[in-house]
Structure 1
């Protein structure tokens, strides 16, 4: 398994206006310097009235298939 750590700070209105479509994605830069593109729908459980803010950990399998996304 692989773990990738990153921070996000996207205001609520920005998240809604840019990422409300089904095919939309969010691009993040990990602490390791990697650029990852994830479906915006994976972040919906973490969106609050303030938006999408905080530190996250993405866990993937050996083939880089999504396992889970956690808010830290």
Structure 2
């Protein structure tokens, strides 16, 4: 299993594009510089009225399948 740490700043206005059907994925960068494309629905548990903010650890298989996404304290 592989891990990436991601610091995410996603204002609510940008996340709303997913609800409107204008976007299906969120592009972000990990702390080590890798580009990550994640289906927006995986961020829904972390969505507040301000958007999605914080640091997250993403765990995935060698094939790139998401195993877990957790907010870091």
**2:11 is matched with which residue?**
11
**1:61 is matched with which residue?**
61
- For residues 12-62 of structure 1, give each alpha carbon's deviation from its aligned partner in whole angstroms, at most 9, with x where no partner exists: 12211x222396100110111110100000000000011110001110022
Say how many residue pairs are matched. 71
Partner secondary structure for residue 62 of structure 2: coil
Structure 2's unaligned 5+ residue stretches are none
Question: CA RMSD, aligned part only?
Answer: 1.5
TM-score (norm. length: structure 1):
0.88
Partner secondary structure for residue 42 of structure 1: helix
**1:39 is matched with which residue?**
39
TM-score (norm. length: structure 2):
0.86
* Displaced runs of 4 or more, over 4 A: none
